[in-house]
Amino acid sequence: MINLTPIQETAVSTPTTSFLQGPAGSGKTTVLQHRLLRLLAAGEPAYTILILVAEPDHQTIYTDFLHQSGVGPYADLKVTTYPQMAQEMVALFWPLVARPAGFARPYQPPTFLSYDLAQLLMWRIITPMLTEGAFANLRLRPQQIVSQLLDTLNRAALNALSLDEAIQRQMDTWVGEPERLLHLADAAKAARQFRQTCLHNSLLDLSLVIEVFDTQLVQHPEFHRYFSERYRHLLVDNVEEQTPAGQNFVANLMQATQTTNAGTTTIAYDSGGGYKRFMAADPRGAFQFRIRCARAFDFADLFTAPPHMMHLANMVENYLLHTTLPTAAATDAVIGIVNGRYRRDMIANLIPILNDLIQQHDVHPRDIAIITPYLDGALRYTLTHALQQARLPYFLLRRRSSPREEPRIRAWLTWLALAHPDWKVRPTHYDVAEALTLSIHGLDPARAQLLSDKLYAPEQGSLLPVDALSDAHAARIGADMVALVEELRLWLQQTTNERQLPLDTFLYSLFNDLLAQPRFHPEPDLAGAAVCNWLVQAAGRLRRAAAAMGFKTTAEIGAAFIGGINYGLVTANPPELGEPPDPDGIMISTIYGYMLAGRPVRIQVWLETAATGWWDIPNQPLSNAFVLAQSRPPDLPWTTGEEFNIRNELLSHLIRGLAVRCHDGLILANSDLDRRGIRQDGILWRALQPIIREP
């Protein structure tokens, strides 16, 4: 156990509601942990304690702490996020809320839609609209339209706005070209149709879960009695990352613990946080809890960041927000600068420095984080391949990804399509060649392409018998390879003719009964296993929800599954590919992924420091997160000046958040040209010029 400071000791022992404010790394979470430990040690049942965290990954911060403390049984302790709690409670109290919430068949049990299923349902809605000319001249891919429509629904609910209020806000605040209003009208039509489909079929995506919970359940007398009887103590970490709907829940529960059962509430507020503003986090609204609490504690001491890191953050803030904070020690924050003309040169020059830190300066890989504004497929491959070649352990911290970018997922879907030609999904010759390469160990791309050219009949959606190969081609490919291709063809044909397996069962059998066998892969195929696991789970979710979503046949389900992934469906739980990730390795993450993970390290590498991505905000013409913020005036025009100020404010907060999570210093790594060959000169790079130019 660590030794607490006097202010921490006081905050832990206070018997009243308390508000803990301070920057990241100032000891607020430690207070919450010890407050929890004190309650349990005093005999308070874990069943009566609720801990709300900002991210699912943060739950282990408390369970691991209790496990190490040896406090005893705590299995009934509830550590959860607001969305998780909302879904659990809506499911539990469904008979009380279904009818007043507007569901057409309240007697039908709810079907909860994960993010990937919500995308598939929205695909069904916008596909005929696109055919009819909706969203004309909008420079977005269909997948981006789907994502932004769901963002509008989610942000409306999380900001405690009705869907109509959210739609009207976006129209009232737009002052640009009139054509955008037509796009917003199309978006409103699609969003309303999506909502009506959900209400008619008892489907609940995130937006409906939150709306039902916030408007129907939180104030319901039966729910209020349940909560007030069960939870006596409330601990909230990172309340600044809570949405207005989440804050509404905290306020109600806080009132219940105070007035009904003499319980306590302790709330931690990161004064530099609010990184989830893109998902409706409201740090300004969260500050209300300082007034609501009987005591407030201000934490000023930083346990993770030395002064030179703060001075570097000051330098960036001075440049962006025209402040005059001290910067004298900022130069000491940068321990290395890596350059390269192209990204591959930058990475090649970075690897020896990382190796030297680990081998010669006693820096453990887990104490290094590589942070980048974006992690596209090419950058990810180049970086991870270089780390593998140098035998440096690492793991990817990915919050969302597009499964179609993973070659093995494309390969497995190719075999799924060929086993079901009646689904009318026709892979290309390239798809089949890629699938053969990844399915048969030792089959190179050239021979796989030859096999595809000679044996794949796209008009039929099937493989031909290997007898169709000439003797010369068969000899070139090799008898062993030809035999495996024929075995694969026969297995797919048998599935087509004899075994009509459910979608998830087929994918499981494809890998475990065939492609994972030693004749196809002599060594364990770990990447294939990860892909199989992800596909089976995703397919299982769709199969169970298919009827409620309106998919009536196996062909409709299968075509929707393959089509959704091929069109760019995004998943919030991407598969881990390659060797199992090493949790003690170097962390590779995007900026927001790292900030939300919240793990301090000794060394940070800011990759592509001159990229504009550090300053960018997502281009979302159909769903403006800032306009939809509840705290913003609903009819105030959205201007370029406001956008410019928000960009500067966000970047300043991000840099300060990174700085307080870095103990030793930074490596600035940059390439002169971006992936398109355009010279880079981003805002962050300019702000850091006094350090970069210093000899």
What is the DSSP track for 351-382?
Answer: HHHHHHHHHHS---GGGEEEEES---HHHHHH
pLDDT of residue 409: 92
Contact 238, 270 (CB under 8 A): yes
In tens, the pLDDT along 277-324 reads: 888 888 988 999 999 999 999 998 877 778 999 999 999 999 999 999
Taking alpha carbons only, the member of 465, 456, 439, 461 closest to residue 562 is 461
* CA atoms of 605 and 658, how far apart (whole Å): 11
CA torsion sign, 138 to 149 to 159 to 599? negative
In tens, the pLDDT along 452-504 reads: 999 999 999 999 999 999 999 999 999 999 999 999 999 999 877 766 788 99
161 against 277, higher pLDDT: 161
Contact 339, 347 (CB under 8 A): no
Residue 577 clears pLDDT 80, i.e. is over it: no
pLDDT of residue 228: 82
pLDDT of residue 542: 94
In sequence order, what are the beta bridge partners of 372?
590
CATH of domain 308-402+580-692: 3.40.50.300
Contact 25, 660 (CB under 8 A): yes
Taking alpha carbons only, the member of 252, 184, 198, 202 closest to residue 224 is 252
Q: State the CB neighbour count (10 A cutoff) for residue 684.
A: 24
Q: How many CA atoms lie within 13 A of 332 on its CB side?
A: 12
pLDDT of residue 261: 56
* CA atoms of 625 and 647, how far apart (whole Å): 13
Query: Residue 599 burial (CB < 10 Å; 0-12/13-18/19+)?
Result: middle
The DSSP letter of residue 688 is T
CA torsion sign, 581 to 587 to 588 to 593? positive
pLDDT of residue 32: 96
* CA atoms of 588 and 380, how far apart (whole Å): 9
pTM above 0.85, yes or no: yes
pLDDT of residue 314: 95
Parse the chain into domains and list their residue ranges. Answer: 6-88+220-298, 107-203, 308-402+580-692, 407-566
pLDDT of residue 67: 85
pLDDT of residue 246: 93
pLDDT band at residue 15 using 50, 70 and 90 as cut-offs? confident
* CA atoms of 531 and 452, how far apart (whole Å): 23
The set of residues, in sequence order, having a beta carbon less than 8 Å from that of 59 and lying 6+ positions away, is 53, 79, 80, 81
Beta strand 334-340 with 203-204 is unpaired
* CA atoms of 409 and 106, how far apart (whole Å): 38
Taking alpha carbons only, the member of 410, 427, 370, 416 closest to residue 609 is 370
Long-range CB contacts for residues 74-80, cutoff 8 Å, separation at least 24: 74/40, 74/46, 75/46, 76/45, 76/46, 76/47, 77/36, 77/46, 77/47, 77/49, 77/51, 78/49, 78/50, 78/51, 78/231, 79/51, 79/53, 80/50, 80/51, 80/52, 80/53
* CA atoms of 471 and 225, how far apart (whole Å): 79
* CA atoms of 389 and 399, how far apart (whole Å): 26
Residue 245 clears pLDDT 70, i.e. is over it: yes
Fill in the amino acid letter for 170.
Answer: Q
Identical fold at 6-88+220-298 and 308-402+580-692?
yes
The DSSP annotation for 61-102 comes to HHHHHHHHHT----TT-EEE-HHHHHHHHHHHTHHHHTTTTT
Q: State the CB neighbour count (10 A cutoff) for residue 438.
A: 23
pLDDT band at residue 136 using 50, 70 and 90 as cut-offs? very high
In tens, the pLDDT along 351-379 reads: 999 999 999 999 999 999 999 998 888 89
| Homologous superfamily of domain range 6-88+220-298 | P-loop containing nucleotide triphosphate hydrolases (3.40.50.300)
Residue 695 clears pLDDT 50, i.e. is over it: no
In tens, the pLDDT along 628-658 reads: 998 889 989 999 999 999 999 999 999 999 9
Lowest mean pLDDT among 81-95, 226-240, 272-286, 590-604: 272-286
Residue 259 clears pLDDT 60, i.e. is over it: no
The DSSP letter of residue 42 is T
* CA atoms of 604 and 542, how far apart (whole Å): 40
- Which residue in the block uniquely carries the two structure tokens 């660590």? 2
Residue 254 clears pLDDT 90, i.e. is over it: no
* CA atoms of 604 and 368, how far apart (whole Å): 6
Report, as an integer, the average pLDDT of 180-190: 96
List the structure tokens of 227. 């909560």
Residue 580 clears pLDDT 70, i.e. is over it: no
List the structure tokens of 620. 């979302």
Report, as an integer, the average pLDDT of 423-450: 95
Q: Considering only the C-alpha atoms of the chain, give the largest distance between any 2 of them, rounded to a whole number of Å.
A: 86
Q: State the CB neighbour count (10 A cutoff) for residue 157.
A: 28
pLDDT of residue 636: 94
Residue 263 clears pLDDT 80, i.e. is over it: no
The set of residues, in sequence order, having a beta carbon less than 8 Å from that of 146 and lying 6+ positions away, is 119, 122, 123, 126
pLDDT of residue 453: 95
Residue 221 clears pLDDT 50, i.e. is over it: yes
% of the chain exceeding 90 in pLDDT: 71
Mean pLDDT of the chain: 91
pLDDT band at residue 627 using 50, 70 and 90 as cut-offs? very high
In tens, the pLDDT along 510-563 reads: 999 999 999 999 998 888 888 899 999 999 999 999 999 999 898 999 999 999
- Which residue in the block uniquely carries the two structure tokens 């090649």? 348
pLDDT of residue 398: 77
Contact 90, 97 (CB under 8 A): yes
In sequence order, what are the beta bridge partners of 271?
none
pLDDT of residue 73: 67
Q: What is the dihedral of CA 522, 523, 527, 529, to 10 degrees?
A: 80
Contact 130, 124 (CB under 8 A): no
